[in-house]
A and B are shown apart, each in its own frame.
Chain A
Amino acid sequence: MLKAISLSLLLSCSFGATAWAQEPKMGGWINAVIQPEPPGLMLAQIQNGPTQMVSGNIYEGLLRYSKTLEPLPGLAESWSVSDDAKTYTFKLKSGVTWHDGKPFTSADVLFSIEMLKQTHGRARTNLVQLDKVETPDDTTVVFKLTQPFGPFLGIFEVGSMPMVPKHLYEGTDYKTNPNNNTPIGTGPFMFKEWKKGSFIQLVKNPNYHVKGKPYIDGIYWQIIPDAAARSVAFETGKVDVLPGGSVENFDVPRLSKVKGACITGEGWEFFSPLAWMWLNNRAGPTANKKVRQAIMYAVDREFAKDVIWNGLGKVATGPSASTIKFYTDDVPKYPFDPAKAKALLKEAGYKGEKVRLMPLPYGETWQRWGEAVKQNLIDVGFNIETIATDVPGSNQKIGDWDYDIAFTYLYQYGDPALGVARNYISSNIAKGQVFNNVEGYSNPEVDRLFAEGANATPDSKRKELYEKAQKILVEDVPVAWLLELQFPTITNCKIKNLITTGIGVNDGFRDAWIDK
């Protein structure tokens, strides 16, 4: 526990506290780890984590978001919303150019929207209420919605809606466009070289639209597939930045003690990763609400936080992470209480039927967590069988509803309408698809609250609706919420100002500088 507390304290105060007080210095290269190797860098077509992390330096979105999720200017310098909340007008920055020198205009925005609807699953979902886009001049873009959509200003971050150069993609086969391998964006860094399996080199964009930035000359993203080898690379000074999740959590306390190492948990506010266990609501023992509640009481989440996650993160209270909008902790509570879990199982008439538990195949930390939960559940009387599989196998089993309990974690994207509702509304029950309502929970009242919450105005009305939804969900326990995860970013302390927004390392290194 002491270790956990000290690490939390370290996280809260050690990262770049004096960075703004110092004058940024120009020059130098940052060596950062990227894991796993991204399949490609064309952000409009590939949206996995590593692609976002590297390409967040090359491409840009119209907006960025602060650590409290307030919109910040990106490629758009200002924006306004009509009184009926159905028209959003963005004024683009003038003088912005693509890396090949061509000007960035509203036509690029219009083209990007159309392309993303075809290639970007999340953008398509986010734009479902979009009626049309108008571009009255080169620096103005008007989005007209069919009805108000509360989180609309929250969908313009670079990973959710990257801007794509129309002059290079229009009329081409997006899949085989040669520019996919030499991506052209408007961002602070330009693509230079990708030695597959070794490194990706980005160099400073000398014509970046924010004068004086970026400060550094470039970035080497080093591809090191083994977690232990990544830790060694940091210890031996071969890399300066270990982005969140790039080393096993049990290595974090040791690495945080390396001389000259700084550590922070900031930069994940927009994503707010929340871990839970899918519980199959359709069949087997977990179809019974009392059994699901028993699971919540049986699992020692404080232990998982303190021991498996080294004190990082926070015990989840329900479907929303505490960092996103409209969160409430005024919900039923499920403290660790094995006696209550046993009583509920008895009430439910559980007779020791086999329950299949599928840990998340994301590495050692998750395997250990699976073992700990298995032990918790066995202790209260469950008959648990662990199912081992890899990522595609796990996706298939979950998508086909062929599981009883399965670990997962998902991003919440700052707003319940973007990253929470999708897991609980009945319209999102679709066999064969992962990461939607795979537990099969269906409650017309919850459906109504989420539907109204997305379209309601003002925010106070949305808050009321989402708080009601959270209370019902926590009572019904469609899934077993575990932890609000925290993926610490570990850096060489001479790297300053690396994380300045709620999007963190994924937002690019435009503000970072090296204190030589």
Chain B
Amino acid sequence: MLSFIAQRIAKGAVVLIAIVILNFFLIRLAPGDPAVVMAGEAGASDPIFVAQLREKFGLDRPLLEQLFVYVKGVLSLDLGFSFRQQMPVASLIAERLPATLLLTLSAFTISLALGITFGALAARFAGTWADTAVTVAALLFYATPIFWVALMAILLFSVTLNWLPSFGYETVGGNYTGVARVLDIGVHLIMPAMTLGLFFMATYTRMTRASMLEVKRLDFVKTARAKGLRNNVIQRRHVLRNALLPVVTLAGVHAGTLVGGAVLIETVFAWPGIGRLLYEALLQRDYNLLLGVFVVCSAMVLIFNLITDLVYRLVDPRIEFAS
């Protein structure tokens, strides 16, 4: 297993460098230039000032030289300097990463736990009103735009009922410490995590239900039933466990992309995470920051893919690691 992990990490590093090089060129294909954006903000864009900005940020150097400097930096874990925010990229990302991880992992846990539970229930009671209710609700959450759900949640829970804060990571000026701070962050987390989790919950519900219904028809389930096992045991130990593999695959893909994919939720709820950082960097053509966020997100996808492979083994012991 250790050699499997080592192999995957080595392959991952190569993929990561390829991603860096590809992204380096891709983002420069987008129209617009960070120096012109910044000069424009100064309210006076004369050629000398723009040239000065380009020189200051190394944008006047040949493209291949810029790439060489950047890749060399990445290899020594230096993600460069943000043109616009005037701070090292690594510091900017490190500052935002905890908030994003808290949000996405909470949403992910909620969606996975509830999605599998509801999916299993729907499959267990297939064809009944409970199955219909779960299926319709899942379809509704799956089809509703996430930002609209977020705005409606704010209207209901913040404006009308005044139960939950409408924005932010914690109460500004609250100066809470210890348990009080944890609770404060928790209260702020409820709406964004639930909203973000709803879409994924719907996906897992549908996937679990469909997968379980398929497994239920297989011969080994009939055998288990013939052996006289109780229905609950059959559902839990045999059907659900075998039906989980596609859900784990999907969850693995989602987990990796969640880090950079919470842009809408982070924007609507003013959650200070990486998604917003990415969006702002994109609008300002902040090349180094964009590349830095891409590197982190790509690394996350690779890590979660590795974890997914390891979880396969736990869910289905018949799967072996190729050495």
Residues of A participating in the B interface, judged by any CB pair closer than 8 Å:
29, 31, 36-37, 39-40, 42, 45-49, 118, 120-122, 124-125, 175-176, 180-181, 195-199, 201, 220, 222-226, 228-229, 232-233, 235-236, 238, 389-393, 395-397, 399, 410-411, 422, 430, 432-436
Please measure, in the bound complex, the distance between the C-alpha atom of A399 and the C-alpha atom of B50, giving whole angstroms: 12
Contact assessment for B167 and A229 in the assembled complex, using a CB-CB cutoff below 8 Å = yes
Contact pick for A229, options B50, B269, B285, CB 8 Å: B269
Contact assessment for A392 and B284 in the assembled complex, using a CB-CB cutoff below 8 Å = yes
Of the listed residues B46, B52, B95, B154, the one surrounded by the most CB atoms of chain A closer than 10 A to its CB is: B46
In the complex, per-residue mask of B40-62: 1 if CB is within 8 Å of any chain A CB, else 0: 11111111111010001000000
Identify the stretch in B85-93, B193-201, B301-309 within 8 Å (CB) of chain A at 4 or more residues.
B85-93
Q: How far is the CB of A485 from chain B (nearest CB, A)?
A: 15
Contact assessment for A196 and B172 in the assembled complex, using a CB-CB cutoff below 8 Å = no
Q: Which residues from B are CB-within-8-Å of A201?
A: 173
Contact assessment for A196 and B166 in the assembled complex, using a CB-CB cutoff below 8 Å = no
Please measure, in the bound complex, the distance between the C-alpha atom of A396 and the C-alpha atom of B33, giving whole angstroms: 7
Contact assessment for B45 and A121 in the assembled complex, using a CB-CB cutoff below 8 Å = yes
**21 residue pairs from A and B, CB less than 8 Å apart:** A31-B172, A36-B280, A40-B87, A45-B86, A46-B41, A121-B42, A175-B56, A196-B96, A197-B95, A199-B172, A222-B168, A222-B172, A225-B276, A392-B33, A392-B283, A393-B30, A393-B31, A393-B32, A395-B36, A434-B45, A435-B43
- Is residue B39 contacting chain A, with contact meaning CB distance below 8 A? yes
Task: State which residues 132-169 of B face A: CB under 8 Å.
Answer: 151, 154-155, 158-159, 162, 165-169
Q: How far is the CB of A435 from chain B (nearest CB, A)?
A: 5
Contact pick for B159, options A196, A232, A390, CB 8 Å: A232
Contact assessment for A392 and B85 in the assembled complex, using a CB-CB cutoff below 8 Å = no
Contact assessment for B154 and A42 in the assembled complex, using a CB-CB cutoff below 8 Å = no
Please measure, in the bound complex, the distance between the C-alpha atom of A426 and the C-alpha atom of B251, giving whole angstroms: 60
Residues of B participating in the A interface, judged by any CB pair closer than 8 Å:
30-34, 36-50, 52, 56, 81, 84-87, 92, 95-96, 99, 151, 154-155, 158-159, 162, 165-170, 172-173, 266-273, 276-277, 280, 283-285
Question: In the complex, what residue of chain B is closest to A180 when comparing beta carbons?
Answer: B86
Q: Which residues from B are CB-within-8-Å of A196?
A: 92, 95-96, 272
Question: In the complex, what residue of chain A is closest to B86 when comparing beta carbons?
Answer: A40
Contact assessment for B86 and A42 in the assembled complex, using a CB-CB cutoff below 8 Å = yes
Contact assessment for A232 and B40 in the assembled complex, using a CB-CB cutoff below 8 Å = no
Contact assessment for A226 and B173 in the assembled complex, using a CB-CB cutoff below 8 Å = no
Known: A392-B33, A392-B284, A393-B30. A197 touches B173 (CB 8 A): no
Known: A175-B56, A180-B86, A391-B37. A29 touches B43 (CB 8 A): no
Please measure, in the bound complex, the distance between the C-alpha atom of A233 and the C-alpha atom of B38, giving whole angstroms: 30
Question: In the complex, what residue of chain A is closest to B151 when comparing beta carbons?
Answer: A228
Contact assessment for A198 and B169 in the assembled complex, using a CB-CB cutoff below 8 Å = yes
Contact assessment for B37 and A392 in the assembled complex, using a CB-CB cutoff below 8 Å = yes
Please measure, in the bound complex, the distance between the C-alpha atom of A432 and the C-alpha atom of B92, giving whole angstroms: 30
Contact assessment for A122 and B47 in the assembled complex, using a CB-CB cutoff below 8 Å = no
Please measure, in the bound complex, the distance between the C-alpha atom of A298 and the C-alpha atom of B81, giving whole angstroms: 48
Please measure, in the bound complex, the distance between the C-alpha atom of A433 and the C-alpha atom of B196, giving whole angstroms: 41
Known: A180-B86, A220-B172, A222-B172. A47 touches B42 (CB 8 A): yes
Extra 16 A-B pairs, beta carbons < 8 Å, given A181-B87, A226-B270: A42-B86, A46-B86, A220-B173, A222-B270, A225-B266, A225-B276, A226-B267, A226-B268, A390-B32, A391-B37, A391-B283, A392-B30, A392-B37, A432-B47, A434-B40, A436-B46
Q: Which residues from A are CB-within-8-Å of B48?
A: 124
Known: A40-B86, A175-B56, A434-B36. A229 touches B268 (CB 8 A): yes
Contact pick for B84, options A39, A122, A198, CB 8 Å: A39
Contact assessment for A223 and B166 in the assembled complex, using a CB-CB cutoff below 8 Å = no
Q: Which residues from A are CB-within-8-Å of B267?
A: 225-226
Q: Give the 6 A-B CB pairs with smallest separation, nearest first.
A: A392-B32, A197-B272, A121-B44, A48-B41, A121-B42, A122-B44
Please measure, in the bound complex, the distance between the C-alpha atom of A197 and the C-alpha atom of B103, giving whole angstroms: 14
Please measure, in the bound complex, the distance between the C-alpha atom of A120 and the C-alpha atom of B99, giving whole angstroms: 34
Contact assessment for B40 and A395 in the assembled complex, using a CB-CB cutoff below 8 Å = yes
Question: In the complex, what residue of chain A is closest to B286 when comparing beta carbons?
Answer: A39
Contact assessment for B270 and A225 in the assembled complex, using a CB-CB cutoff below 8 Å = yes
Q: Which residues from A are CB-within-8-Å of B158?
A: 232, 236
Question: In the complex, what residue of chain B is closest to A41 when comparing beta carbons?
Answer: B86
Q: How far is the CB of B254 from chain A (nearest CB, A)?
A: 23
Contact assessment for B270 and A223 in the assembled complex, using a CB-CB cutoff below 8 Å = yes
Contact assessment for B276 and A197 in the assembled complex, using a CB-CB cutoff below 8 Å = yes
Contact assessment for B50 and A433 in the assembled complex, using a CB-CB cutoff below 8 Å = yes
Contact assessment for B30 and A224 in the assembled complex, using a CB-CB cutoff below 8 Å = no
Contact assessment for B47 and A433 in the assembled complex, using a CB-CB cutoff below 8 Å = yes
Please measure, in the bound complex, the distance between the C-alpha atom of A125 and the C-alpha atom of B95, giving whole angstroms: 37
Contact assessment for B41 and A47 in the assembled complex, using a CB-CB cutoff below 8 Å = yes
Please measure, in the bound complex, the distance between the C-alpha atom of A199 and the C-alpha atom of B171, giving whole angstroms: 10
Q: How far is the CB of A326 from chain B (nearest CB, A)?
A: 20
Known: A226-B270, A391-B37, A432-B47. A232 touches B32 (CB 8 A): no
Contact assessment for B268 and A432 in the assembled complex, using a CB-CB cutoff below 8 Å = no
Q: Which residues from A are CB-within-8-Å of B42?
A: 47-48, 120-122
Please measure, in the bound complex, the distance between the C-alpha atom of A235 and the C-alpha atom of B280, giving whole angstroms: 26
Q: Which residues from A are CB-within-8-Å of B169?
A: 195, 197-198
